[in-house]
Amino acid sequence: MVAKPVKLETRLIHAGEAEPRILGAGVPPIFRSTVWEHVPGAGYHDILYPRLSNLPNHVVLGDKLAALEGGESGLVTSSGMSAISACLLSLLDAGDHALVQDCLYGGTQGLFTRDLAPLGIEFDFVDANDPVSWQERLRPNTRVFYAEAITNPLLEIADHEGIVAFAKKNGLQAVIDSTFASPVNARPLEWGYDLVVHSGTKYLNGHSDVVAGSIVGRSESVEAAKRKLDHFGGALDPQAAYLLHRGLKTLALRVGQQNRSAQAIAEFLSEHPRVETVRYPGLSSHPQHERARHLFDGFGGMLSFELMGDRDSAPRLIDRLELALPSASLGGVETLITQPANTSHAGLSLEERARAGIAEGLIRFSTGIEAAEDLIGDLERALA
């Protein structure tokens, strides 16, 4: 662990690394073994076993992520969804209730509606920018407020300071999915959230070749989530941990470039006559631009926009782009583009999408690390 508080770029490289380094290796070796010799006198909690997320590959990453987020303790998991489910199952029992931001990532929304509800866990979806609705839905059995740092695909920024204050006042645990922001742009524990989760599949790894997740917060909370993770079997494979560790080191470089390029692309699109609307927190036209400036260190690599014309304009544009890869994922080094109505939000009915404000022709753009001028040139050609 790095002793002095140092900048995030430095923490990405040095924080959490094993001390002493394993056989002096600069990069932790991949521990593939599932059998570990039992040392006489060792207790149950000393047993090393990959499913218990306690191999050096897990520990280094957990400690590094804790240092990046400014949390006491960190844990890596097999996916973003395993991080989210372990977290929620550690905080909510049958009969408990949660306030949940509407317009969440579809998998998380499905977890609440299809998996937690049958277990007797109650919830209400709320507008995370409408504190009056939180108060109205608050119950004596409410335990959790769950939100996302930036919503998908509309890039809304919740009233995070309001959520944290409301959670503290009412004794709730405030949990946030900060995948879209990454620790480079936002560290929600600093705002007062209790637990932060990520899909490490996106920005943290950044190279579109690993599925992973993370949980960071106070040690006792992370330990409680780990007990769920251990039993439900959500440990990260050591090979994947190695790749995540490797990808993480360039997070600040990647996200810095993505922030700059996304801003340039958003500005280009917002001035283009064939573009009707652009949503990007870095634009002064974004409804929560001032909040984003106050809370975030960067506005991120994600943006969404609508074209003039009908919903078929979107697939035509996507088809004509040469650099942006049509894919529903995000946060990679390569630029990715998708039409949420056909991919990430296809599971919602037309009415549900309309209610959520997701236009049929909306396009979501995950900016990669290619040169911004090339990405803009590609968009310019395709729009023409």
Of 13-21, 77-85, 186-194, 219-227, the window that binds ligand PLP (rule: CB under 6 A) is 77-85
Identify which range of 78-86, 92-100, 187-195, 230-238 contacts ligand PLP by CB under 6 A. 78-86
> Is 280 a catalytic site residue?
no
Handedness of CA 285, 288, 291, 295 (dihedral sign): negative
Stretch that binds ligand PLP, among 9-17, 28-36, 40-48, 172-180 (CB under 6 A): 172-180
CA angle 275, 280, 282 (to 5 degrees): 125
Helices (H), the chain: 8-14, 56-69, 80-91, 106-110, 131-137, 160-169, 182-185, 188-191, 219-232, 238-248, 251-270, 289-295, 313-320, 350-356, 372-383
Question: In this complex, which beta carbon is closest to ligand PLP, that of residue 146 or of residue 305?
Answer: 146
Residue 96 found at the interface with ligand PLP (CB under 6 A)? no
**Least CB distance to ligand PLP at residue 174 (A):** 17
**Three-class SS state of 216:** strand
Q: How far is the CB of 154 from ligand PLP (least distance, A)?
A: 13
Give the strand pairing for 73-77 and 173-177. unpaired
Contact in structure between 266 and 283 (CB atoms under 8 Å): yes
Phi, psi at 85, each rounded to 5°: -70, -40
**Residue 209 bears catalytic tag:** no
CB 235 within 8 A of CB 53: yes
Residue nearest to ligand PLP (CB): 80
Question: Choosing from 11, 64, 105, 193, which is the catalytic residue?
Answer: 105
Residue 107 near ligand PLP by CB under 6 A:
yes
Residues 191-230 that bind ligand PLP (CB under 6 A): 199, 201, 211, 213
Smallest distance, Å, CB 168 to ligand PLP?
24
Q: CA-CA distance, 158 to 125, in Å (whole number)?
A: 13
Min dist. Cβ of residue 20 to ligand PLP (A): 33
Based on the residue annotation, tell me whether 7 is a catalytic residue of this protein.
Answer: no
CB of 25 or CB of 346, closer to ligand PLP: 346
Count the site residues for ligand PLP by CB under 6 A. Answer: 14
51 given a catalytic annotation: yes
How would DSSP label each residue in 273-328? TTEEEEE-TTSTTSTTHHHHHHH-SS--SEEEEEESS-TTHHHHHHHH-SSSEE-S
Residues numbered 115-154 forming contacts with ligand PLP, rule: CB under 6 A: 148, 152
Catalytic residues: 51, 105, 177, 202
Q: Which residues here bind ligand PLP, judged by CB under 6 A?
A: 79-81, 105, 107, 148, 152, 177, 179-180, 199, 201, 211, 213
